[in-house]
A and B are shown apart, each in its own frame.
Chain A
Amino acid sequence: MKTYLADYVTLILVAVVLALMPLGLGGSAYYLRLATLMLIYMAYAVAFNIIFGHTRQLFLCVGALAGCSAYISVVLVMKMSLSAWASIPVGILSAAVLGGVFSYVSVRRGLGVIFVGIVTLVSSMIFHNLILGLRQWTNGETGIETKGLGPALLAPGLGSYYAILGVLMASLVLYHLLMRSRAGAAFRAIADDELAAELAGIDVTMYKVLAATVGSALIGAIGAIYAYYGGFINPTVYGFVNVDIAVLVTLLLGGMGTMLGPVIGGVLFTILDEIVRPLGRINVLVYGVLMVLLVISFRHGLVALLRKLTGARIP
């Protein structure tokens, strides 16, 4: 019988440290915003971890799924005068359905990791073009101001920090519950060897679709929340470089298939981003170099390194 003590301790530690963080920021609005964005990227990475880290489905459409949910929610609020509370679930549902369908179709067609990557990448581009093209709803490249549309809770400030921290903790708890259930065992088996898992009687299709749906729903939720928090959305906000690459680097830095990985990765990525930002245009170069280096020599991430160094069981 496996005990989950390490998981609980980690969850509580993460919650306490992140909850105390605004105290250390000395009331600076800039750093509070940075910290909130960090939480958002951590949450994206948790969701992406479920999809890619555990069931090896390379979804290169994190930004597109988040954006899809965000735009649906915002447009519903603007054009149908729905409340944000009613429209966010619609956005989440649409992201979940999209992710589930991608996954179902690709598993059914027996697509390898590369084809899933291409299909989702192509879908990202379609999404981007649709947003640019459906100008009457989305305002094209100009984007939409979302200030005052969303729940007051999500307006920038300490309140939104804790609200988003709540979402991050909820997704980490969801992750924990998922991993300790039958599904978690199935995910581990699939990540090790898909064929063997299938032969052992695991319904690979079902679990892959489950992972993709849950992950996409989370991505959709975060995308919609970010839309109201950020005060402004346009295609670039949910673009490939801004979301997918950032999330991929975050997850690779922290460690795929681990609970703590997205959190540590998020901290490192945010610090790094702050260092690189003043360099201006060259930051794309730095991300590229970082990504290549990570993929080549640091594929298992920081959590794996810490495990090796300390010998402790870090979830």
Chain B
Amino acid sequence: MIAILFDGIVQGLQLSLMAVGITLIFGLGGVLNLAHGQFAVVGGIAAALLIEAGVYAPLACALGMLSAGVLGLVVDRTLLVPAYRSAGEERLLLGLLITLGLSFVVNGYLDFKYADISLTLNLATPSFNVGGITIRTASAVAALIAIVAFVLLFAFLKGTLLGKVIRSIIQNEVGAGLCGINPGRIRTVIVIMSAMMAALGGITQGLFSSLGTEMGNELTSYALIVTVVGGVRSINGTLAAGVLLGIVNAFASYYVGAYLTLIILLGTAALTILLRPEGLFAHRT
């Protein structure tokens, strides 16, 4: 029981790591990034290629994250510009369609070029004991990484001036602009950060099983479910929803099987949009 719960929490944290990026980009840029899972995959595959080339694994992972960040920068500065230029529904629509197209570009390219590459990270000790419960080292490391990442993110958002600026844009873009904030600059920073966090999520996936080139859409859909349930404008909500859905996922997979689990998760997302479009936990950003 406790093992399942723990597994669920770890999985949830990992999901949140990806989902929070979607939340941030949507909150700041008004673009629903349907290529977010692809960022994760690009980071992971880059890391895998570097490891294959003989680079020390942690360094390779860091460089993998960096490459996802670079991809984020390029996408933000080129592809998304037309979306940012328009406003309202038009921007939402453009952003959605552009990132959807981008996800196919990335999928197609990776599948074409690196079809048989996947990221698998093996740790020295597979598991250890705490108080009679066997814990996989991979889970512990993944949990730790996610927690550290979130602590850093919250510290950044609450503690620094830039963080305050970001929150102000999420709350009211026009108002922030009137205060002399340049949303474009900040947006780029956020897209890079989100892409790197997604890559981190993808790389931690490599700790448990393996991260393949074809997993982008799957990761995007899981992250999207979490984002939607947590509220597309709420960072706290996304974190909470990620953990909650991770636990639901773990228990449901154990008791009713993977197929029904996915339907339960998807159904939750659909119902959330219909009943509470602002998200289950949307009180504060």
Contacts and interface: CB of A to CB of B under 8 A. Distances in A.
B265 to A, nearest CB: 9
Nearest to A124: B266
B108 A285 contact: yes
A288 B104 contact: yes
Nearest to B228: A118
B89 A295 contact: no
Interface in A109-152: 109, 111-115, 117-119, 121-123, 125-126, 129-130, 132-133
Nearest to A126: B266
B102 interface: yes
A208 interface: no
B263 A133 contact: yes
B273 A118 contact: yes
A268 interface: no
Contacts of A290: 101
Interface stretch (B3-11, B109-117, B197-205): B109-117
A115 B101 contact: no
Interface string B77-89: 0010010000001
Taking chain B's interface residues, is the majority helix, strand, or loop, or is none over half, making it mixed? helix
Interface residues of A, number: 40
A282 B115 CA distance: 11
B104 A122 contact: no
Interface in A262-307: 281-292, 295-297
Interface residues of B, number: 38
A245 B104 contact: yes
A6 interface: no
A119 B273 contact: yes
A283 B111 CA distance: 11
B274 A109 contact: yes
A290 B100 CA distance: 11
B147 to A, nearest CB: 28
B266 to A, nearest CB: 5
A119 to B, nearest CB: 5
A84 B262 CA distance: 32
Interface of B: 32, 79, 82, 89, 92-94, 96-98, 100-109, 111-112, 115, 221, 224-225, 228, 259-260, 262-263, 266-267, 269-270, 273-274, 277
